[in-house]
């Protein structure tokens, strides 16, 4: 293999290492790293035809890194916007969700259980269903069927959980210190007329 082949293999290996390290980066950082790697390889290949492979790699890395970071930054901004929209939708749905007082009010005004259940299905429910509250609901005349439905559907309908990718937390722990004392030496006490022996 000639020098150029080693150089290409090195750049390819470097690009693979950059790809592996991108899993904990945001889109801007990953875009810059990927763009720089791809730009360096492309620049080296194009520059090698004119005899300036190193300069081509540097120019390609700079151009690719800049383009990749711009694309990644746009992706980060889009994700932040989507999270903000999802959060606003969740808050709006939580405000419009049916609560315990709404169920009691509808029941006292003669609304049937099936209509109340339909309202919970369409708007979602945010219920306090502690044991004391369930007893209170029963005393207010709420049927067992409706209380069971409230228990099964105690959520805000129509919202999806928002998953935000965060960097993994770094946990630093101090090493535990173990102090070991040496075992005591046996002492030899010779006594006259008696066989000497060890004492611990």
Higher pLDDT, 32 or 174: 32
The full set of domain ranges for the chain reads 3-86, 97-152
Instruction: Provide the mean pLDDT of the chain.
Output: 76
28 in Cβ contact with 72 (< 8 Å): yes
pLDDT at position 144 is 92
| CA distance to 3, 48, 150, per residue, from 39 (Å) | 20, 14, 58
Q: What is the token pair recorded at 43?
A: 């620049």
- Tokens 């540097």: give the residue: 58
43 in Cβ contact with 57 (< 8 Å): yes
42 in Cβ contact with 11 (< 8 Å): no
This model's pTM is above 0.95:
no
pLDDT in tens, 101-150: 999 999 999 999 999 999 998 888 888 888 999 999 999 999 999 999 99
Element (H, E) at 188: strand 187-191
Would you say the C-alpha torsion 48, 52, 58, 59 has a positive or negative sign? negative
For 57, residues 6+ apart whose C-beta sits below 8 A from its C-beta are: 11, 40, 41, 43, 44, 47
């Amino acid at each position: 293999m000639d020098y150029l082949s080693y150089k290409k293999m090195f750049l390819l290996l470097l690009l693979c290492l950059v790809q592996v390290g991108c899993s904990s980066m945001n889109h801007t950082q990953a875009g810059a790293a990927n763009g720089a790697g791809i730009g360096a390889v492309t620049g080296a290949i194009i520059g090698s035809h004119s005899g300036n492979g190193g300069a081509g790699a540097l120019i390609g890395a700079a151009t690719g890194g800049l383009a990749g970071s711009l694309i990644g930054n746009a992706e980060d901004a889009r994700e932040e916007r989507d999270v903000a929209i999802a959060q606003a939708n969740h808050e709006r749905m939580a405000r419009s969700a049916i609560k315990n007082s709404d169920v009691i009010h509808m029941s006292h005004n003669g609304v049937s259980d099936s209509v109340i259940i339909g309202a919970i299905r369409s708007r979602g429910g945010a219920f306090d269903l502690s044991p004391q509250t369930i007893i209170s609901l029963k005393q207010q005349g709420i049927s067992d069927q409706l209380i069971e439905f409230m228990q099964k559907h105690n959520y805000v309908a129509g919202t999806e959980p928002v998953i935000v990718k965060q960097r993994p937390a770094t946990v630093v722990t101090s090493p535990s210190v173990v102090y070991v004392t040496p075992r005591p030496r046996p002492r030899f006490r010779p006594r006259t007329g008696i066989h000497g022996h060890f004492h611990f």
